[in-house]
Structure 1
Amino acid sequence: MAEATNGSGLITGAEFLSAPGVSDWRGTGTGPQVVYRADSIADAARLVPAIVDAAERFGVLPDVDLRPEGIVVRVPYRDPEGLPAAAPQFAAAVSRAAAELPLTPDSSRVQSVGIYVAQHSQTDARPFFVAALGYEDFGDTDAVDPLRCGPQLAFNPISGDASGRGRTHFDVYVPADQARARVDAALAAGGRLVDDSRAPLWWSLASPDNHGVDIAAHPDLHD
């Protein structure tokens, strides 16, 4: 008999992170995520049966990335409005199974990378990128890889910018307790601070040749 039935409706990222039993997990731009370190791919794979069992019991569709260095488990945003209500129960079950193996969570490896496609206010570039990359529309402004392997794209207009010029930068979402260290590392590697007026939510940086990267502490806790 299943331990629990599916939840119904959707919850926010903040509600997920405030639920019991999910302290291993962190919010990212594409959904809650946990990384467990492992010594081999066989070691990491020991967690897979528990993930599958929890997914079936709670009706959650996770993404699982198995590597020799560890295993990444995500609860992706399949609906731009929120996460499945049963996501915290799923996550807690996975965490309990990992602790029994035992596998150690490593929040320093948690991140999601997105590409922010800034476009002239009279231009809609999303159809081109969807076609060129084989992506799908997601919500009103984004596009996603159907298998969620590639970075999520966000399309946003630049009011008053020169027509015919696109500006694109990377968005890197990391756990809040890792953001400052990531910024410091990028600056030490030759980067330039462009804007920290929204820190600690995010910092805008530029590479030595002026490519843009925003490093953000994912705002789930600020919902």
Structure 2
Amino acid sequence: MVESTSGTEWITPAAFHQAPGVTDWRVTATGPQAVFTATSLSQAAGLVAPTVAAAELFGVLPDVDVRPEGVVVRIPDRSFDGIPAAAAGFAAAVSEAAAELGLTADPSLVQSVGIYVAQHSQADARPFFLAALGYDPLGDTDAVDPLRSGPQLAFNPIAGDAPSRGRTHFDVFVPADHARARVDAALAVGGRLVDDSHAPDWWSLASPENHGVDIAAWPDTDG
């Protein structure tokens, strides 16, 4: 556990998963997340009030996405400092409330999608994307939707790449225990394995038309 100068305590994904009552949850690049399936919008909405109560109790600021098919609860990473230590207690409280409401957790539905913008080592494309998308800066290299509803963007140089030739690929962050199945599904419909030297942290794939996608599981296991 790490304590910042502001007094906030942070934990790693591994420490989060070791906490009691969080088996419904997985960690993606945007923080811990759980998906609880529902049979109606009203059933899904029933989890909102308990989630708000748990958020106030534990001092956590979650994102809650309610749909007729279910509800997604995220503990967003707002600073790259890590996971708030209080997130584990919050997550356990939300899972307990979901079970009482008859909502079923489905970790296979947990994911976050990011766009990796590769650029020349002397270029900085982030100001353009901030302006065009109405995003906010996040850290030194990323950009985020102010409401965290759109994909997060990361900007990193490729040394020696040709100027004025931007390249992008998708980063798809999924639970570690579902990553291999996601890779296999993409390969089964014509995808190509580009690089698995970093597996099981991530696999680099390409579509039949050579669009790049990384299936990444490392945020869920980082110690």
Cα distance in 2, alignment partners of residues 75 and 50 from structure 1: 15
1:32 is paired with a residue whose SS is: strand
SS at match of 1:222: coil
Normalised by the length of structure 1, the TM-score is 0.94
Give 1:13 shift: 2.4
Q: What does 1:1-223 align with in structure 2 at a 5 Å threshold?
A: 8-223=8-223
Percent sequence identity is: 74
CA distance in 2, matches of 1:150, 1:178: 23
Q: Is the 8 A contact 2:200 2:218 kept in 1?
A: no
Say which SS state the counterpart of residue 27 (structure 1) adopts.
strand
Aligned 8 A contact 1:36 1:106 in 2: yes
Residues 82-127 of structure 1, C-alpha deviations (whole Å, 9 max, x = no match):
1222111111100111111221100111000000000000001111
Alpha-carbon distance in structure 2 between the residues aligned to 1:155 and 1:118 = 6
| Offset, 1:177 | 1.0
Displacement of 1:200: 1.0
Residue identity in the other structure for 2:59: G
- Distance (whole Å) between structure 1 residues aligned to residue 44 and residue 130 of structure 2: 34
- 1:4 maps to none
The code of the aligned residue for 1:24 comes to D
Segments of structure 1 that go 5 or more residues without pairing to the other structure are: 1-6
1:220: Cα distance to partner?
Answer: 3.5
Map Cα deviations across residues 38-91 of structure 1 (whole Å, 9 max, x no partner).
001111111111001001111100000000100000000012111222111111
Tell me, yes or no, if the aligned pair for 2:175 and 2:220 is still in contact at 8 Å: no
Distance in 1 between residues matched to 2:218 and 2:98, nearest whole Å: 24
Give how far 1:217 is off.
1.1
Q: TM-score, normalised by structure 2?
A: 0.94
Q: CA deviation at 1:189?
A: 1.3
Q: Which residue of 1 aligns with 2:3?
A: none
Report the 3-state secondary structure (helix = DSSP H, G, I; strand = E; otherwise coil) of the residue aligned with 1:98. Answer: helix
Q: Any conservation in 2 of the 1:26–1:107 contact (CA below 8 Å)?
A: yes
Task: Note the alpha carbon deviations across 1:158-212, whole angstroms, 9 max, x for none.
Answer: 0111111111000000001111111111111111111111111111000111110
Distance in 1 between residues matched to 2:40 and 2:69, nearest whole Å? 6
Runs of 4+ in structure 1 over 3 Å off? none
Query: Matches of 1:158 and 1:166 in 2, distance apart?
Result: 10
2:176–2:221 Cα contact (<8 Å) kept: no
Runs of 5+ consecutive residues of structure 2 not aligned to the other structure: 1-6
Aligned 8 A contact 1:98 1:104 in 2: yes
Aligned residues of 1:63 and 1:75 also touching (Cα < 8 A):
yes
Structure 1 residue 19, shift from structure 2 partner? 1.4
CA contact under 8 A between 2:120 and 2:164: conserved in structure 1? yes
Contact 2:143-2:153 at 8 Å conserved across structures: yes
> How many equivalent pairs are there?
217
Paired residues of 2:171 and 2:213 also in contact (CA < 8 A): yes
